[in-house]
């Protein structure tokens, strides 16, 4: 799912292309992507895009008369900038938005159609999309500490909770926890002040670094390959590969459709965390330490 740095890169690229431009035509190929009926989405045809903003992981297009088009890309939704006159004909194409300079294509490479569009009118209607999480790059250490310890959950769950933090998801929470040298399963209300300060610094550094990098690239070319798995990442998506700091094999724990990637030497003191699927299957054969795991691979 595109997270804060990825959404920021889309905003940079889209602002260059569509802000101040008229939305000439809307083509909807998948009717299920539009989740509202009033205002009618086609009433925005011919209207000028006045501004683009972000609410969490959602992208908001602003139109006159206090009308808004709200995109939520979910896991597999993506934007692509096509030539003028392009139509949504591919199997993954959900909708197309035509402007004088080109066409923005909304796609979703998944059989589970989760990406959505909402057309709403008025600030109150728009505010319903705000899950309440604080902006991680716009908060103080005290605000961050209050948010992260508000409920007693694992660090991984809390960082990715939109009610606590805006725009952080599965990928960047892995990177943040690696940078902070903290276990993804540490309970938030057991954190020391020093650990919270370290987590706050890591959150700011990781998100800012990736935002700067991706927005700079988006200023040069449209971000056509937005992915949660980037080769430059330290641990996310790097299960089985060496940690960039110590060389220990990156491990993972899997829950439902999400997985946490971590370095057992840098983050958990050499302890292997119990994978919800494999450790239940293997029971006593599940290795407890990275040394046991490495010995069994030899």
Decide if 208 is inside a domain: yes
- Verify that 62 and 156 share a domain, yes or no: no
What percentage of the chain exceeds 70 in pLDDT? 91
pTM: 0.91
CATH number at residue 272: 1.10.8.50
pLDDT per residue as tens digits for the range 68-93:
999 999 999 999 999 999 999 999 99
- Domain count along the chain: 2
Q: 21-53 burial by CB neighbour count: b if 16+ within 10 A, else e? A: eebeebbbbbeebbebeebebeebeebebeebe
Q: 164-188 burial by CB neighbour count: b if 16+ within 10 A, else e? A: bbbbbbbbbbbbbbbbbebbbbbeb
- Verify that 156 and 275 share a domain, yes or no: yes
- Verify that 70 and 168 share a domain, yes or no: no
Q: What is the 3-state secondary structure (H, E, C) of the chain?
A: CCCHHHHHHHHHHHHHHHCCCECCEEEECCHHHECCCCCCHHHHCCCECCEEEEECCEEEEEECCCEEEEEECCCCEEEEEECCCCCCCCCCEEEEEEECCEEEEEEECCCCCCCEEEEEECHHHHHCCCCCCECCCCCCHHHHHHHHCCCCCEHHHHHCCCCCECCCCHHHHHHHHHHHCCCCCCEHHHCCHHHHHHHHHHHHHHHHHHHHHHHHHHHHCCCCCCCCCCCCCCCCCCCCCECCCCCCECEEEEECCEEEEECHHHHCCCECCCCCCHHHHHHHHCCCEHHHHHHHHC
What is the model's pLDDT at position 275?
Answer: 66
- Verify that 183 and 117 share a domain, yes or no: no
pLDDT per residue as tens digits for the range 267-298:
999 999 976 554 443 344 445 555 554 444 44
Cβ-proximal residues to 132 (8 Å cutoff; 6+ apart), any chain: 162, 163
With the CA atoms of 182, 183, 185 and 188 taken in that order, what torsion angle do they form, in degrees rounded to the nearest 10? -10
Decide if 70 is inside a domain: yes
Q: Which of 241, 242, 243, 283 is closest to 266 using CA atoms?
A: 243
What percentage of the chain exceeds 90 in pLDDT? 86
CATH number at residue 59: 3.20.190.10
- Verify that 114 and 158 share a domain, yes or no: no
What is the model's pLDDT at position 285?
Answer: 45
What is the model's pLDDT at position 86?
Answer: 95
- Verify that 185 and 83 share a domain, yes or no: no
For 135, other C-beta atoms within 10 Å of its C-beta total 14
- Verify that 190 and 219 share a domain, yes or no: yes
Q: Which two tokens stand for residue 149?
A: 């310890």
**Bond prior to 45 in cis (omega within 30° of 0):** no
Angstrom distance (rounded) from CA 219 to CA 195? 36
Q: Which of 271, 266, 269 is closest to 253 using CA atoms?
A: 271
Sign of the alpha-carbon torsion through 173, 175, 177, 180: negative
Average pLDDT over residues 107-120: 93
Q: Chain centroid to CA 262: how far?
A: 18
What is the model's pLDDT at position 284?
Answer: 47
Decide if 135 is inside a domain: no
- Verify that 259 and 218 share a domain, yes or no: yes
pLDDT per residue as tens digits for the range 24-37:
999 999 989 999 99
Decide if 92 is inside a domain: yes
Decide if 110 is inside a domain: yes
End residue of a domain, out of 127, 157, 186: 127
- Verify that 71 and 180 share a domain, yes or no: no
What is the model's pLDDT at position 292?
Answer: 54
Checking if the pLDDT of 256 tops 70, the result is no
Decide if 133 is inside a domain: no
Q: Which of 65, 59, 58, 63 is closest to 20 using CA atoms?
A: 63
Q: Choose between 55 and 284: higher pLDDT.
A: 55
pLDDT per residue as tens digits for the range 168-222:
999 999 999 999 999 999 999 999 999 999 999 999 999 999 999 999 999 999 9
Domain that holds residue 194: 141-297
């Amino acid at each position: 799912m595109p997270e804060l740095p990825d959404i920021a890169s889309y905003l940079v690229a889209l602002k260059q292309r569509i802000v101040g431009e008229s939305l000439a035509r809307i083509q909807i190929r998948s009717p299920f992507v539009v989740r509202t009926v009033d205002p009618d989405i086609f009433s925005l045809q011919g209207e000028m895009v006045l501004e683009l903003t972000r609410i969490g992981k959602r992208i908001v297009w602003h139109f006159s008369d206090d009308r808004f088009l709200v995109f939520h890309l979910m896991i597999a939704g993506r934007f692509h900038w096509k030539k003028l006159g392009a139509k949504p004909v591919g199997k993954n194409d959900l909708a197309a938005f035509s402007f004088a300079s080109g066409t923005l294509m909304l796609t979703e490479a998944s059989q589970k159609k989760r990406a959505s569009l909402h057309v709403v009118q008025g600030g109150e209607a728009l505010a319903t999309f705000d899950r309440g999480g604080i902006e991680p790059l716009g908060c103080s250490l005290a605000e961050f500490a209050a948010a992260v310890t508000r409920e007693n959950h694992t660090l991984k769950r809390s960082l990715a909770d939109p009610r606590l933090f805006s725009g952080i998801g599965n990928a960047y929470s892995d990177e943040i926890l690696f940078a902070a040298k903290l276990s993804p399963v540490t309970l938030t209300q057991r954190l020391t002040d020093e650990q919270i300060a370290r987590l706050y610094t890591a959150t700011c550094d990781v998100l800012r670094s990736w935002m700067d990098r991706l927005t700079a690239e988006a200023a040069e070319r449209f971000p056509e390959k937005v992915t949660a798995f980037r080769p430059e990442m330290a641990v996310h998506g790097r299960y089985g590969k060496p940690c960039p700091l110590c060389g220990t094999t990156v491990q993972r724990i899997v829950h439902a459709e999400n997985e946490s990637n971590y370095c057992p030497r840098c983050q958990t003191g050499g302890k292997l965390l119990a994978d919800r699927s494999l450790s239940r299957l293997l029971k006593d054969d599940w290795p407890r330490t990275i040394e046991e795991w490495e010995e069994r691979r030899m």
